[in-house]
Each structure stands twice: as C-alpha cells, then as structure tokens.
Structure 1
Amino acid sequence: MQNRFWVLLISAVMFSFTAPPARGEEIVRMAFPTGAVEFFKYEFGVIELALEHADGDFRLVIEEFPTMTQARISSMMLEGQVDVMFTGYSVERETKFLQVDFPMTRGLLGYRIFLTQADNLPTLEKVESLEQLKKFCIGTGSDWPDASIMEKNGFCVDRAPRDQLWAMLANKRFDLLSRAVHEGFREIDTIRQQHPDVVLSTSTVLAYPFDLFIYVNRNNERLHRILTQGLLRAYHTGDFMRHFLSNPDLRHALETLQAPNTHILRIENPDMSKKSRDIDPALWENIVQRKYDDDVGYEPRDQM
C-alpha cells in the first residue's frame, strides 16, 4: 500500500512539472517507461496525427517513469491520471476502456516472424505448412495476447517475462521467439550483440488479425470522439498512409511480406470480439503484390 502511495505521489509531481498549456490548448497525457519512447515514435506519431486533424488545439505530453509496466499504465488510466494509452488488442482491454477502432500498424503487428538458434534455421526455412510449424515450441511474453492466440490454434507455447525471452532462446529453452516483422528487424542487431547465435528468419510468417489500438477511459467519450475524428480525417487526406509508409521498419516489413520466398501461414484470432472483427477492412493492410509509393488514398467508412 505504501509503495502504491509513492507511485501516485511521483505521478502527481511529475505531471505538475508539465509546461502549462497555451491559451485554448488542451493537454493529452500519457505515461510510458523511461527510455522506451524513441522505440515507439511511430505509434506516438499516430496519436499526434489524430490530435492534429481533430477539431481543437491539443498537445500530447508523455511522462516517462522508470520500471513502468503496462498494468500500471492501465491502472493510471482507470484512476484518471493519464488520458490515453496504446497497447495490444485484447477483449479485456476493449471492455475495460473505450477502443479507438483504427489498427495502429494496419495489422502488421499480427504478422509474426521468428528468431531462432542458427542450427534451427535450415529446418525452419523448409516450413511450408502450419503442421510443420507446430513441431516447434514458440516463446512469448507471459501476458502477451499472442500466447493465447497461438495456444488456441494448437501451437506449443512457452510463456516467460519479456526481459527473459531472448536469453531463454539463446539457451534453447524453446525453439522460436515470435516477433512482429517490423519488431524483428528493429531488434535483431541489438539482440545479436548479446546472443550472437540468435538469427532472424523471414521465410516463414505466422499471420492473424491483431494490432495495437488506442484506448481511453470509458468516461472520456469526448476524447474518444476527438481521436476517432482525427484519424478518419488523417486517412481521408492521405496523411495516415504517408506516416505509415515513411516508417523504415514498416516499409521493410511490407517488402519482406511481398517477397516470393516468404510463406505466410494464416490462423484465426479466437480472442477477437465481433465488434473488432467488423472494423473496416480498408484499415487493415492487405498483403498483396503491389507498390506502395503512391498508395495513400484509402477511403475508410465514415465513423463520425
């Protein structure tokens, strides 16, 4: 209880240091782990796009806290200490908060490639079916929604805390570590500095409907409308797709998924609600053989 008091006190003090808003400007508050903001600059850019395109004058303020967890961020949102967060989809989060129904990476988070030990690579690169892939045991984070999706589709899954996964892979505690395509590209060089026998395979991709979504407190319907309005307008102007395609990791992921030697094996996401299944298909990336340079004119269904 005492620890919780100090967390709340630190939160209040840090937010009080935020520069006061300009006349007419509204502050939208977020909390995030210290040092991780740069890693998620694309996702923060999506929220800023929404605020820029909505009616009004808004400024996103991100406060960084050491050892901040997703569970703590969720608690801060429920307590009204922060206004918005983004996290991987789950029915629990969709129920607990108001979900802004725009998949942030257009579903690329649900396209999973695998890190593995170098001696596993020849066998993995011969995989062409779900039955062959199920012969491997896949490591995931203890509370990642991916774990439940893969378990319910009949995969061998080994759950562990996120910060232990790479060392466990290097020590052959499981065969494969699942990462989104763009995450794998972004992380592999850093991982290999500590675990040089770990390699990234792009030959086999496991795909299912999944992504990060923006969430707000269920009592803040106004902010939910603002973010929905802003993202809808960002799509109509082409600004969302320009932001999406300007990200080098996402662009690399798209090119990889289009490569002729990449096998995409699709499974269902049994943990997705009907409401989220019915999100406009134009908001999900359709991985086909096409060019992306001028493809910014998506017209999602009007939601406002």
Structure 2
Amino acid sequence: MWRSIDIPRIIAVLAIHVLTLCFCVQVQASAQVSSEAAQPSNVLPHSVLRLPNVHPGRDPVYAYAKALLYQTLKVTEAEFGTFELVITEQEALQARQLRNLEHSMLDVTWSVTTKERERHHQPIRIPIMEGLFGKRALFINSDDTRFDHPLSLAQLKTMRAVQGYDWPDTRIFRSNNIRVLETTYDASFKMVAEKFADMYPRSVMEINHEIKNDNKTANLKIAPNIVIAYPSPMFYFVSSDRPDLAERIQRGLEKLLANGELKRLLEAQEIYQQSMTLLEGREIINLENPLLSEQSKQALDTYLPYPSPSPNSQVDGMQNKQPQSSDTTP
C-alpha cells in the first residue's frame, strides 16, 4: 500500500502551498502598512463642549458670548480639531456655573472675574464684553425725582442698592461704602418698585433688554444723568484641569482680536449699540474694585480698547455668523 504513494510529489505540493501562504501574508502586511502610512499620524479629536443654559434677563448677552465662543473655536479647528457645543438643560447662577466646571458638569462658562474665582478656576484673560459689565446704569422707582439732577458719590452712599446673593458687584458696592440689600434676581426689581431699595444697578449691556419686560420693570425707570463705573472684565472660564481648552480659547480670541473680528462681532450686537447710546452725555461715578487680580488689571490694559477691524476682514474665510453645523442645542 505505501509503495503506491508518490512522496516527492506530495512534498512538492505542500511546498507550493506554503510558498503561496507566505506570499499572501506578505501582501496583506504590505497593504496594511501602506494604509497606515496614507492616514495622518496626528488625527485631531472632536470635542463636545458643554455650556450653561441662559440665565434670566441675559438672553442677548448669552447669545453674543455663545456666538463669540463658536467663532473662537472655529478659527482653531486646524490646530485643535472639530467641536460641538451642547447646552445643559438646567439653569444655574454664576457661582454654581463655575463650580460645575470643577465637577465636570460644564466645560466652558463666562463670568465677571474676581481673585477668588481665578484661584479655583482657569480664566482666559481676554475681556469679551470690552469691560461694559463694569458700566452700571440704575433702575429706580418711577416716582423717584432725586436722580433728575446729577448726584455725587457721597449722595449715593446715603442710599441703598439691591444686588444678587452671589454677585461680585455686591462686595464692590459695599467696599465703596454703598449699602446693599441682597436678594434674588427677580426680587431685586420688586425691592426697588416697592421702595425697599433705592436703586438696582445693572450693566448697560443688560438694562435696555430688561426694561422691555413689563412684568419685572413696572413702576421702574432708568435713572437719567449718571452711570456707576468700575473695572470688571468678563472672561471665559474653564476647569483648572483643562489647560488645553484654555490654550485653544486664548489662541482663538487672539486671532479674532488681531484682525478686528472680535470688535466687529461685538459692535454688530443691538445691545452694544444701545449701550453706547445710553452712555452718551452721562456723568460717570467711578468706584474701586478690590476684587481684581493684578493679572486681570494687566489684561484690561493690554486688550482694551479692541483693535478696529480691517476692511472686509474675516478669519479663515469665515464671516460673522451664528453657530450652525457644529452647534447642538437641546
């Protein structure tokens, strides 16, 4: 039986199969190497960034801050990758928004700054509202005639303001010896309307929008003649453990500043235009802000006023526009 088996032929067939298998493995390996070589070695990540929900009374301010952040991230896509903005469902006050950064519940928020906030969170020290949150017009009672003529700081110190519980402005007014009643945002309007407080200082970027809300501002008016002013820049903030995100926002804002797009976007906002009109011809009463860090004072000197936009300027071919494809809202 064994004599009928052609051993040399079997060996030759097996050798052919082995050689064929080795060739196929080599071709497959070469194809995989070529495929890997064809792909970029530094594929950039896609970032999903969570933002706070709009706070009552700040719809236009929120819309501007969000649009600016979108452009800031858009002009850095080539360096840092694509992104998506997601709005959280729950509203939160300023202090809670900042705490949410450290609890990994938010990725970016914006707020006026203080030394304390900068100790716990990472600020991007480029003012995004051109310092206008430190320019305060006053809601007063509709029957109050004391403001019909310009008042001095000494006269304001005889009155009582109303402000929010967690607002840095509360401490700023008190440090300048102006009495402050602390309450909620909504209750502040009632305090002045019912004459429990004399004035409700609001940013010139907010007050024109708020005066349109009859439910809140019935029996109130904007005081003529004066504006209270103190240095109070608004910054973007990220978590202290996100230096990469802070660097991205810093670079994006610097790009928008350099060619004037930041100024162009701000000046296109109706609330900015109304603010400029409101400030015309008013007496400025200056207060000190003891809450500012030296770095933030330097940022005001470095970045304000904003550079003017160059003719027909745009960044990386992008016009001023609202978030579209990379923006997701609830």
Q: TM (normalized to structure 2)?
A: 0.74
State which drifts further: 45-54 or 234-243.
Answer: 45-54
Determine the structure 2 residue equivalent to 1:89: 113
Determine the structure 2 residue equivalent to 1:18: none
Query: 1:66 & 1:84 partners in 2: Cα distance?
Result: 15
Determine the structure 1 residue equivalent to 2:212: 189
Listed one character per residue, the Cα deviations across residues 64-114 of structure 1 (whole Å, up to 9, x for unaligned) are: 323433343333311223211112212111111111001110100000000
One-letter amino acid matched to 2:177: G
Q: 2:88 aligns with which of 64, 69, 88?
A: 64
Q: Is the 8 A contact 1:107 1:285 kept in 2?
A: no
1:30-179 matches, within 5 Å, as: 30-33=51-54, 38-39=59-60, 40-54=62-76, 55-120=79-144, 122-179=145-202
Q: CA deviation at 1:265?
A: 1.1
Listed one character per residue, the Cα deviations across residues 51-76 of structure 1 (whole Å, up to 9, x for unaligned) are: 12223333342323234333433333
Q: CA deviation at 1:219?
A: 1.3
2:220 corresponds to 1:198? yes
One-letter amino acid matched to 1:29: R
Determine the structure 2 residue equivalent to 1:245: 267
2:284 corresponds to 1:264? yes
State the secondary structure of the residue aligned to 1:146. Answer: helix
State the secondary structure of the residue aligned to 1:50. Answer: helix
Query: 2:135 & 2:195 partners in 1: Cα distance?
Result: 23
Aligned length: 265
Q: Is the 8 A contact 1:138 1:178 kept in 2?
A: yes
2:50 corresponds to 1:29? yes
Determine the structure 2 residue equivalent to 1:296: 309
State the secondary structure of the residue aligned to 1:279. Answer: helix
Q: Is the 8 A contact 1:34 1:66 kept in 2?
A: no
State the secondary structure of the residue aligned to 2:172. Answer: helix
Q: Is the 8 A contact 2:73 2:83 kept in 1?
A: yes
**Distance verdict in 2 for CA 1:56–1:113, change over 3 Å:** same
One-letter amino acid matched to 1:91: K
**Distance verdict in 2 for CA 1:46–1:67, change over 3 Å:** closer
**Distance verdict in 2 for CA 1:194–1:225, change over 3 Å:** closer
Please list every run of 5 or more consecutive structure 1 residues that lacks an aligned counterpart in the other structure.
1-22, 287-293, 298-304
Q: 1:283 aligns with which of 282, 303, 313?
A: 303
Listed one character per residue, the Cα deviations across residues 138-188 of structure 1 (whole Å, up to 9, x for unaligned) are: 111111100101100111111112221111211111010010012110100
Q: CA deviation at 1:251?
A: 1.5
Determine the structure 2 residue equivalent to 1:254: 276
Listed one character per residue, the Cα deviations across residues 213-248 of structure 1 (whole Å, up to 9, x for unaligned) are: 111111111111100000000011211011010011
Query: 1:199 & 1:37 partners in 2: Cα distance?
Result: 18
Q: 2:238 aligns with which of 204, 207, 216?
A: 216
State which drifts further: 78-87 or 262-271.
Answer: 78-87
2:244 corresponds to 1:231? no
State the secondary structure of the residue aligned to 1:32. Answer: coil
State which drifts further: 197-206 or 232-241.
Answer: 197-206
State the secondary structure of the residue aligned to 2:88. Answer: strand
